[in-house]
Structure 1
Amino acid sequence: MQIRRFRAPDMRQAIRKVRDAVGPDAVILSNQRLPSGEIEIVAALDYDGSLPASLSSATAEPTRQKRQQTLHVDPALSEKVDPLEDEASLTYQQRIESARQRSTVESNVIVNENKHASTNIVDDDPKIEESLSIANTAKERQFQEMEKELREVKALLEGQKYQQNQTKVPQEQVKPEVQKVREKLKGLGISDSVSSRLLDDIDLLGREDDWNRVLAHLADHIPTRVKTSELLGCIAFMGPTGVGKTTTIGKIAAQHVLKYGNSSVVLVTTDTYRIAAHEQLRTFGRILGVPVVVVNEYSDLNDVLDKYSDYSLVLVDTAGMNPRDSNLERQLLMINRARANLKKLLVLPCTSQRQVLKTVVDVYSKVRLDGCVLSKLDESASLGEAISVIVEENLPVVYVADGQRIPDDIQPARSHNLVSRAVYVAEQYSHLYSSLKYGS
């Protein structure tokens, strides 16, 4: 067996020397740090499993010294005393205790040697220590993020389970009269959350007037503007495309002109996105004899409002945009920067689905809405969706529009009238559906 010694400033360079000189078949027998600070590696070629006598004695001597230091035994005495002969003279309990101490000492020596070797390797190459630290830190961060996500998912599932347990009542515990009223409210298009709110406040007795009491309570929950029948000042009408903003402005302006004359009304439009979008408003202005002002990139809305501040009614028509339109943010910003006395009304069509209406309210709520206008009541098959949204969002209803006739088909909102209209529409479409289904 051939043995060679290699020296280098650090462990990495020493291993590289061994690999370059001896090849992949080399076997490292030992490594140590010399007094000069260098690392010495003893490598063997054609290793047969045995160590040379010099290397074996050199390796065994430090181990024997470490064990003697751990046991606090004098080296001279340890050479004279034979452990086997000494154990023969001991009692059974003493031999057990001696074996236990010897095994503990040997394990401590092995652990200390392993720690010393790993410390040397890390000290020899600071990059290894840095890479190990980075790897451990990254793994710990990943574990912490995973634990955080699991806790969030667990909290979400527990919250959903709690809500289901709170809202879901076993079928056998629901009173027949409550279930009957709930089905009727569902037929009107009222959402489950509003129905639960109503039924929690009323104690149903199973009498004929239960349904009328529930409808009256529903009317009490609908927010409306009850100060005066007329709305004066600066009013901006907002909403998606095709909801009837311009037609609503024409109806309100015509009613005001018929009652007070055309000297105190002005129509303003900010819709410059569509081609000839302001032509309909100009037509209203020519018929009513009132001025029409277009706000574009060369003018400012506040300047126009200041110019006509002495007018009793200033109606502002805005561009109809999809809630996902990128230009909507610019228009909302312009309305937010307008004068503080500008009232913002959102026009909601009763023909839209509940989720669509709720999305529109959420988007336009950035401008602090003062109320809403319910349009297209005459085209809707159910008013319950719109009623549910305004009750859930606590958005006051100012006007209701139910046709295209100007100025007739618009009136101030009344909650009881709105509930009666919802019941009437539901009954009419129920009869229409039955006739179409059965051919009668």
Structure 2
Amino acid sequence: MQYRRFRAPDMHKAIRKIRDAVGPDAVILSNKRLPSGEVEIVTVIDYDGSVPPSFSNHAPPQAPQVEPSRSSAQPSKSYQERIKEARNMESGSAPSRKPRGAYEVFEEPSPVPPPSNPDPIPSYDRPSFADQSIDGDSSVREHSHARPSADEEKLRAMEEELHLVRKMLERTQSEKNSAAASAGTASKATSSPRQKLTEQLLTLGLSEQVIDKISSDLNLTGREEDWKKALSYLADCIPIRSTGDAFRGCIAFMGPTGVGKTTSIGKIAAQYVLKHGAGSVALITTDTYRIAAHEQLRTFGRILGVPVDVVNEYTDLNEVLDKYSDYSLVLVDTAGMNPRDRNLERQLAMMKRARGHLKKLLVLPCTSQRQVLKTVVDVYAQIQLDGCVLSKLDESASLGEAISVVIEEGLPVMYVADGQRIPDDIEPARAHNLISRAVYTAEQFGQLYGSLKYGS
């Protein structure tokens, strides 16, 4: 048996050196990592299967007592042939057979062992068995060069896990899509005429309470005539007060700031003057909380040629109303205030003390949300409102909110205002006209929303 020692930066390169220099017949006896970071492997050639006693009983090797003969340290014939081929490769001569590769083999000369060592093993520096760690089997594996590294095994494992995760996600998404498709098919198959009508009424902005009332009261057939019947029934549900007596006498317009009270008064006064003359109309304002708040009404009075009077802390509203008792139409403008304003209580107290013939109209803007409109109605309901005016129809994207509030509160609609032009943009309320305007507004807003969304 011949012993050789190989050194390399890592185990993989060391194994390749052994295979290139010795061949597949080499047997690894030991391996260890040197202080320099390299890996050192001790191999044996022509191994007969026996293990030296120093390795079998884990005892540290002892130096032989008698120096071995030179003949025992001579390499075998096959080994000499391999050395000759390596030298021929270095000198540039063609080898007798195809070379395995030019790798540098680190060999050390055999030092003279101490005389006390009875071991006949040649005098190579062999580390003790206790200081070595045998890596795997003691023989060179047939395909060690083809074995993947630790990093490659990790990458392969990660790829397998990602492949499994991808399959799971695809399966989950497929199940969701199939469930959604089946649910959509089932909903289409089981959709009732009531559900279809509910979807159509929701586009108008109506409240659920109003929609439920319409759906439950009508006998639906699932045809196109259900929509016409629903609109007709909705128009019948709107309380309207447009008799001739509603446009005569004393009328006070109330509501929050900026809802169009003063503008509505100017429109009604202008129409009445054009029909009956300026001698039968008078204008009164109670708005003394803002600077020059009554100047707009005075401007209307000068243009129309009608008297304008101001009610302040020194005068009483009933006295001013008695002053114009001979006029067929007296319009009263009030201060616009937030429902949470403390001064609003004073305004409401003044209206409560007014004569019974004073009609009180609440101006509701169609641009406000349903909850805001309901809050305003609840605040002003303590003065016993006679009706309302729906303003800003031209600025609203949906009339269903205001229509729902007047239906739920039972508040009659007397006027509808849909613009700023005086005296054109106001008219007495008509239920079917109001519903037609609500449908038209919903369709126009739907087209506008679609063009903005899709850029067409």
TM range (shorter): 0.5 to 0.7
Counterpart for residue 369 of structure 1? 385
Which protein has the bigger helix share? 1
Count of aligned positions:
270
CA distance in 1, matches of 2:355, 2:254: 16
Aligned sequence identity (%): 73
Q: Equivalent residue of 1:267, what SS?
A: strand
Counterpart for residue 219 of structure 1? 235
**Cα drift, residue 228 of structure 1:** 2.6
Q: Contact 1:230/1:412 (CA < 8 Å) preserved in 2?
A: no
Deviations 1:157-191 (A, max 9, x none): xxxxxxxxxxxxxx899852111110111110000
Q: Contact 1:323/1:363 (CA < 8 Å) preserved in 2?
A: yes
Counterpart for residue 355 of structure 1? 371
Counterpart for residue 291 of structure 2? 275
**Cα drift, residue 287 of structure 1:** 0.1
CA distance in 2, matches of 1:295, 1:351: 30
**Cα drift, residue 388 of structure 1:** 0.2
Q: Contact 2:339/2:379 (CA < 8 Å) preserved in 1?
A: yes
From 350, 364, 369, give the equivalent of 1:334.
350
Alignment-mate amino acid for residue 251 of structure 1: K
Deviations 1:239-263 (A, max 9, x none): 0000000000000000000000000
**Cα drift, residue 227 of structure 1:** 2.1
Counterpart for residue 180 of structure 1? 196
Q: Equivalent residue of 1:213, what SS?
A: helix
* Residues 1:344 and 2:360 aligned together: yes
CA distance in 2, matches of 1:257, 1:226: 19
Unaligned residue ranges in structure 1 (runs of 5+): 1-170
Counterpart for residue 123 of structure 1? none
Q: How does 1:69-88 map to 2 (within 5 A)?
A: none
Q: Look at both structures and tell me which one has the larger radius of gyration over its CA atoms.
A: 2
Deviations 1:247-304 (A, max 9, x none): 0000000000000000011000000001100000000000000000000001000000
Q: Equivalent residue of 2:361, what SS?
A: strand
From 195, 206, 209, give the equivalent of 2:225.
209
Deviations 1:89-109 (A, max 9, x none): xxxxxxxxxxxxxxxxxxxxx
Alignment-mate amino acid for residue 349 of structure 2: L
- The alignment's TM-score, normalised by the length of structure 2, stands at 0.58
From 257, 263, 269, give the equivalent of 2:279.
263
- Relative to structure 1, is the Cα distance of residues 236 and 173 closer, same or farther in structure 2, using a 3 angstrom cutoff? farther
- The alignment's TM-score, normalised by the length of structure 1, stands at 0.60
CA distance in 1, matches of 2:437, 2:348: 33
- Relative to structure 1, is the Cα distance of residues 358 and 174 closer, same or farther in structure 2, using a 3 angstrom cutoff? farther
Q: Equivalent residue of 1:437, what SS?
A: helix
Q: How does 1:303-322 map to 2 (within 5 A)?
A: 303-322=319-338
Counterpart for residue 418 of structure 2? 402
Across the aligned residues of Structure 1 and Structure 2, the Cα RMSD in angstroms comes to 1.4
* Residues 1:192 and 2:208 aligned together: yes
Alignment-mate amino acid for residue 259 of structure 1: K
Deviations 1:359-402 (A, max 9, x none): 00000001000000000000000000000000000000000000
**Cα drift, residue 207 of structure 1:** 1.1
Deviations 1:204-238 (A, max 9, x none): 10111110000000000000014238611000000
CA distance in 1, matches of 2:208, 2:190: 15
Deviations 1:96-145 (A, max 9, x none): xxxxxxxxxxxxxxxxxxxxxxxxxxxxxxxxxxxxxxxxxxxxxxxxxx
* Residues 1:412 and 2:428 aligned together: yes
Q: Equivalent residue of 1:403, what SS?
A: coil
Alignment-mate amino acid for residue 280 of structure 1: Q
Q: Equivalent residue of 1:263, what SS?
A: helix
CA distance in 1, matches of 2:222, 2:202: 18
Q: Contact 1:269/1:294 (CA < 8 Å) preserved in 2?
A: yes
Alignment-mate amino acid for residue 335 of structure 1: M
* Residues 1:382 and 2:398 aligned together: yes
Counterpart for residue 429 of structure 1? 445
CA distance in 2, matches of 1:175, 1:288: 59
CA distance in 2, matches of 1:225, 1:317: 20
Unaligned residue ranges in structure 2 (runs of 5+): 1-186
CA distance in 1, matches of 2:415, 2:293: 24
Q: Equivalent residue of 1:180, what SS?
A: helix
Counterpart for residue 285 of structure 1? 301
- Relative to structure 1, is the Cα distance of residues 409 and 220 closer, same or farther in structure 2, using a 3 angstrom cutoff? same
**Cα drift, residue 203 of structure 1:** 1.1
Alignment-mate amino acid for residue 266 of structure 2: G
CA distance in 2, matches of 1:261, 1:416: 31
Alignment-mate amino acid for residue 359 of structure 2: K
Q: Equivalent residue of 2:228, what SS?
A: helix
CA distance in 2, matches of 1:314, 1:229: 13
